[in-house]
C-alpha cells in the first residue's frame, strides 16, 4: 500500500509540474484530492490492515494529500502571476487617448427664450411672479371685465372643467391675483402655460405660453408713452437694437384704450419677407391702459391708480427669434429639432 501511495504522489507531482492552465490544475485537483480520487480509494483498504499498519499508512496518505494540495495551490498561483505579467500586452491602456464624450442635456428653446424674457424685464426693475394654471371663472374672466354673457368671452375658446374652473385662457388672470394682495406701485411680469380649445395649425397651439406684464402707479404716473418705450426696450433686447415697434388700436375688455403691438421683422429689417408675410411687421401681442373696471373688481378706488398691461405669446417670439415656421415643433419632442438649439 505504501508503494501505491508513493506511486500516486510521484505521478501527481509530475502531472502538476506539466500543467499550464487553470483548467488543467482544477482537473488534477479532482483527480488527486477530490472525494473520488485514487488516494481516497486506497484508503478504503485501511480497514483490512493491522492497527499499527493502519496508523502508519493513514499518516502517510494524509501527508501525501497535503503535499499534493500544496503543490496544486502553488501551481495555481504561478499561472495567475504569469497571466498578470502578460496583461499589458493583451490590454493596452493609452492614458493620452481622448475619452468618449457623454451627450449633455440642454434647455428647451422655449425655456431659453423664457429666461431671456425674464432677464430683460428684471433689468428694467420688473418682479417675476407666478400663479396657478387652473383658475376660477372670476379671476380668468369676471375680474378682467368679462362678466358672464359678455361677448368678449368668445374671443378665447375655453376648456371648462366640471367644477366650473378653467385651465386659464391667458396669463391676464395673474393681474387680478396679484392686485388682490399687493398695493401699487409695482411692475410685474408673469410667464406660464395657457390653454385654449382651438384647432392647431402652424401658428396656433391649444396649449401654449404667454408673458403678461403689468405696471400700476398713482394716476398720472403711467402713460402709453412709458409702456411703448418699455415694450420697445424689450424687443430690442430680444431681437437686436435696430428693432422698431408700433401700436395699432385694438379691443381687449380689460384695457382702455387697447392696442395690438407689432415688431419690425428682424429678418428683413422691415423690407418684407416670407416670415413677415411681406408686411415688414410681425404681430406679437396685445396691450393697453388698464380698464378702471379691473381696478374696482380687485378693490382699488376708482381713478386712484392708472396702469398699463401687455401680453404676448412666448412660442410666437421663439418662432421669430429662431426662424421656425411651425409652432407644433416645440411640443413634438423630436430630438432632431431640439438638438439644434
Binding site for ligand FA5 (CB under 6 A): 156, 170, 172, 196, 198, 204-205, 208, 210, 212, 252, 255, 284-288, 309-313, 315-316, 327
The CB-of-102 to ligand FA5 minimum distance in angstroms stands at 35
Is the bond preceding residue 277 a cis peptide, omega within 30 degrees? no
How far is it, in rounded angstroms, from Cα 315 to Cα 326? 10
Q: Which of 230, 214, 220 is nearest to 298 (CA)?
A: 214
Q: Minimum distance from CB of 219 to ligand FA5 (Å)? A: 19
Helix (H, G, I), strand (E, B) or coil at 251: coil
Q: Which of 283, 290, 220 is closest to 247 using CA atoms?
A: 283
Long-range pairs, 313-317, Cβ under 8 A, ≥24:
313/208, 313/209, 313/210, 313/284, 313/285, 314/110, 314/113, 314/114, 314/117, 314/191, 314/208, 314/209, 314/210, 314/211, 315/110, 315/205, 315/208, 315/209, 316/203, 316/284, 317/113, 317/117, 317/238, 317/284
* 238 vs 327, beta carbon nearer ligand FA5: 327
When the beta carbons of 172 and 297 are compared against ligand FA5, the nearer one is 172
Q: Among 109, 307, 295, 113, which Cα is nearest to 191's?
A: 113
Q: Under 8 Å CB-to-CB from 71, ≥6 apart: which residues?
A: 12, 13, 16
Least Å distance between CB 260 and ligand FA5?
7
In the complex with ligand FA5, which residue's Cβ is closer, 65 or 228?
228
424685464: which residue's cell? 121
Query: CB of 105: closest distance to ligand FA5 in angstroms?
Result: 26
Least Å distance between CB 93 and ligand FA5? 55
Write out the E strands in 133-200: 134-135, 166-167, 186-195
Q: How far is the CB of 98 from ligand FA5 (least distance, A)?
A: 44
Q: What contacts 75, CB < 8 A, 6 or more positions away?
A: 16, 17, 19, 25
Q: Which three cell numbers stand for residue 340?
A: 439644434
Residue 37 or 264 having the CB closest to ligand FA5: 264
Distance in angstroms (rounded) separating the CA atoms of residues 49 and 52: 8
Cross-sheet strand order for the sheet of 245-250: 127-128, 186-195, 207-218, 305-313, 281-290, 255-264, 245-250
Of 9 and 168, the one with the shorter C-beta distance to ligand FA5 is 168
Closer residue to ligand FA5 (CB): 15 or 142: 142
Q: Which is nearer to ligand FA5, 7 or 201 (CB)?
A: 201
Closer by beta carbon to ligand FA5, 71 or else 315:
315
Q: Which is nearer to ligand FA5, 248 or 304 (CB)?
A: 248
Amino acid at each position: 500500500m505504501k508503494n501505491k501511495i508513493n506511486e500516486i504522489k510521484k505521478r501527481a507531482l509530475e502531472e502538476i509540474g506539466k500543467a499550464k492552465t487553470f483548467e488543467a490544475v482544477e482537473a488534477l485537483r479532482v483527480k488527486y484530492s477530490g472525494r473520488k480520487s485514487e488516494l481516497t480509494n486506497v484508503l478504503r483498504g485501511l480497514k483490512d490492515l493491522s492497527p499499527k499498519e493502519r496508523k502508519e499508512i493513514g499518516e502517510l496518505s494524509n501527508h501525501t494529500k497535503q503535499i499534493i494540495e500544496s503543490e496544486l495551490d502553488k501551481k495555481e498561483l504561478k499561472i495567475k502571476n504569469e497571466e498578470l505579467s502578460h496583461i499589458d500586452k493583451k490590454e493596452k491602456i493609452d492614458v493620452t487617448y481622448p475619452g468618449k464624450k457623454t451627450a449633455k442635456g440642454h434647455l428647451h428653446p422655449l425655456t431659453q427664450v423664457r429666461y431671456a424674457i425674464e432677464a430683460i424685464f428684471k433689468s428694467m426693475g420688473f418682479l417675476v411672479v407666478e400663479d396657478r394654471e387652473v383658475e376660477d371663472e372670476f379671476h380668468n374672466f369676471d375680474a378682467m371685465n368679462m362678466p358672464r354673457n359678455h361677448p368678449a368671452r368668445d374671443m378665447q375658446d375655453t376648456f371648462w372643467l366640471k367644477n366650473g374652473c378653467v385651465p386659464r385662457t391667458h396669463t391676464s388672470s395673474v393681474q387680478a391675483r396679484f392686485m388682490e394682495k399687493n398695493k401699487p406701485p409695482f411692475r410685474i411680469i408673469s410667464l406660464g402655460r395657457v390653454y385654449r380649445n382651438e384647432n392647431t395649425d402652424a401658428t396656433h397651439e391649444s396649449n401654449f405660453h404667454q408673458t403678461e406684464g403689468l405696471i400700476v402707479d398713482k394716476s398720472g404716473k403711467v402713460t402709453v408713452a412709458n409702456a411703448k418705450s418699455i415694450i420697445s426696450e424689450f424687443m430690442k433686447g430680444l431681437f437686436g437694437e435696430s428693432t422698431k415697434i408700433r401700436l395699432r388700436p385694438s379691443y381687449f375688455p380689460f384695457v382702455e384704450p387697447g392696442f395690438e403691438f407689432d415688431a419690425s421683422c428682424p429678418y428683413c429689417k422691415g423690407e418684407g419677407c416670407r416670415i413677415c408675410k411681406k408686411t415688414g411687421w410681425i404681430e406679437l401681442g396685445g396691450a393697453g391702459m388698464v380698464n378702471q373696471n379691473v381696478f374696482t373688481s380687485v378693490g382699488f378706488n376708482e381713478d386712484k391708480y392708472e396702469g398699463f398691461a401687455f401680453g404676448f405669446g412666448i412660442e410666437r417670439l421663439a418662432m421669430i427669434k429662431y426662424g421656425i415656421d411651425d409652432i407644433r415643433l416645440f411640443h413634438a419632442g423630436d430630438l432632431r429639432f431640439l438638438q439644434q438649439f
